[in-house]
A = this chain, B = another copy of it.
Amino acid sequence: MPFLPAFSSAEQWFLQKILNGIGRAPIRLVLNDGVEVTPPDVSPIGTLRIADRRTLAALALDPEIGFGEGYSDGRIRVEGDLVQMLEEVYRSMAKVRDGLYGRLVSRWQDWCQANSPRGSRHNIHHHYDLGNDFYKLWLDSEMVYTCAYFPSPEATLEEAQVAKMDYISRKLQLRPGEAVADAGCGWGALALHMARNYGVSVKAFNISHEQILFARERAAEEGLTDRVEFIEDDYRNISGKFDVFVSVGMLEHVGKDHYAEFGDLIHRVVGESGRGLLHFIGRNQPADFSRWIRKRIFPGAYAPALREALNVFERWDFSVLDVENLRLHYAKTLEHWLNRFEAASRQVSAMYDARFLRAWRLYLAGSLAGFLTGSTQLFQVVFAGSQCQPPLWTREPLYAGAPEPEPAAERKAQWTHAMS
């Protein structure tokens, strides 16, 4: 260890261990009493200032939880650009294998946070029922909490979320009168968009109580209750027959042990002649979310490697028609969210507390770093049953004459037009 000048103290040994644990990212580690280590041969892009020995020990034992908890509590301070530093850590940690302790904690979390029908209710409630007023502070006006689609990087977040909903509807080639099942519908924006602009009827499922209440109100306000039904129930309980199955940002909460079962459900719902789209955070290689993310932010969540996700389709002979990787669009989305979140930081602190603020800042910044570095990917997969003809001859119509997003006031007229 040539970069450890002298074995001067236990603290320095701990710091060095932490530095190794994060793959020797170009970051300086400093204990409040002044002891520090710096990675060799690089100029550090920032500093982590660690308040005390307890924090140091927690960080050495489990860098993921130790850092998340220390940062949230204010016992670890970051000097420098948080996103940039996390990017460097992600890049360098890609080469580090998780230790035995970390693997044991991960499996323990898997067990405690299993996505059984009951477990899922708990896991979803933890995140999505924080209060609609909180999410209103930093999401777009349509309240869409998934990766947007930016026709150009300069598009606004509002434009990009509408463009995403439209892009999905066009990829699915929705036709007036068709029946759509929407599994994990968030605050309902996509279900409403499809019914309003494509003349389909949608049954939308969600186990977040807060989100369903909000979505129902919107449907009523827009006069769409005859075409969009919001159902507070688990995706496993979807029944009836539909032409189209769509699920945006829910596969991450299904859990990797349930993909075949999820495929069974899709097959029950759309049969051999239906089609659908899954939109989900994925990876190049199988890997868990950080233990801190699963502890504090998304219990039970898992982003599959694309290969793992294909288990949803294979058993029932579904054809994969189109896979698009929108990783950089999620980075752009998170950039908008993080900026809006920071702009609302005083309200967030008042609503919760400073610890919550820091935890969510870390979650958003870490997610941004994940998509920038390619540690996480975003896949949109269009699929069709074995007796369903591919709905498009080429993709060209998806990119020709896309309707401009229209302001909300003009929508009802537009919908009437779409139905005629």
Binding site for B on A (CB under 8 A): 94, 149-153, 284-285, 305-307, 310-311, 313-315, 317-325, 327-328, 374, 377, 379, 386, 389-390, 393-396, 398-400
Other A-B contacts than A153-B393, A374-B386, 8 sampled, CB-CB below 8 A, are: A151-B396, A284-B319, A285-B315, A306-B310, A307-B311, A320-B323, A324-B395, A395-B398
Chain B residues with Cβ below 8 Å from A311 are 307
**A80 vs chain B, min Cβ distance (A):** 23
**A53 vs chain B, min Cβ distance (A):** 37
Partner of A94, one of B315, B317, B322, B327: B317
Q: A151-B396, A399-B395 are in contact. Are A319 and B325 (CB under 8 A)?
A: yes
Contact call A374/B327, Cβ cutoff below 8 A:
no
Chain B residues with Cβ below 8 Å from A395 are 324, 395, 398-399
Most buried by B among A305, A306, A398, A400: A306
CA A377 – CA B322 in complex, angstroms? 12
CA A57 – CA B394 in complex, angstroms? 45
Chain B residues with Cβ below 8 Å from A285 are 314-315, 317
Chain B residues with Cβ below 8 Å from A310 are 305-307, 310
CA A394 – CA B148 in complex, angstroms? 12
Contact call B284/A386, Cβ cutoff below 8 A:
yes
Closest to A153 in B: B393
User: Copies of this chain, how many?
Assistant: 2
Contact call B323/A322, Cβ cutoff below 8 A:
yes
Partner of A327, one of B151, B305, B319, B377: B319
Chain B residues with Cβ below 8 Å from A321 are 324-325
Contact call B328/A325, Cβ cutoff below 8 A:
no
Chain B residues with Cβ below 8 Å from A152 are 393
Closest to A320 in B: B306
Partner of A325, one of B305, B314, B320, B377: B320
Pairs across A and B, CB under 8 Å, 14 listed: A94-B386, A153-B393, A284-B318, A284-B320, A285-B315, A285-B317, A305-B310, A306-B320, A307-B307, A319-B377, A320-B377, A323-B323, A325-B390, A396-B399
Chain B residues with Cβ below 8 Å from A307 are 307, 310-311, 314
Contact call B305/A314, Cβ cutoff below 8 A:
yes
CA A320 – CA B320 in complex, angstroms? 14
Chain B residues with Cβ below 8 Å from A327 are 319, 390
Chain B residues with Cβ below 8 Å from A315 are 285
CA A307 – CA B327 in complex, angstroms? 20
CA A311 – CA B322 in complex, angstroms? 18
CA A285 – CA B327 in complex, angstroms? 27
CA A314 – CA B283 in complex, angstroms? 9
Most buried by B among A311, A374, A389, A395: A374
CA A389 – CA B328 in complex, angstroms? 9
CA A319 – CA B378 in complex, angstroms? 10
CA A399 – CA B170 in complex, angstroms? 15
**A168 vs chain B, min Cβ distance (A):** 14
Contact call B314/A394, Cβ cutoff below 8 A:
no
**A288 vs chain B, min Cβ distance (A):** 16
Closest to A389 in B: B328
CA A324 – CA B380 in complex, angstroms? 12
> Which 4 A/B pairs are nearest by Cβ-Cβ distance?
A323-B323, A307-B310, A399-B399, A396-B399
CA A374 – CA B153 in complex, angstroms? 37
CA A319 – CA B399 in complex, angstroms? 23
**A390 vs chain B, min Cβ distance (A):** 6
Q: A284-B317, A307-B307, A395-B399 are in contact. Are A390 and B323 (CB under 8 A)?
A: no
CA A314 – CA B306 in complex, angstroms? 9
Chain B residues with Cβ below 8 Å from A151 are 394, 396
Q: A284-B319, A377-B319, A386-B374 are in contact. Are A328 and B393 (CB under 8 A)?
A: yes
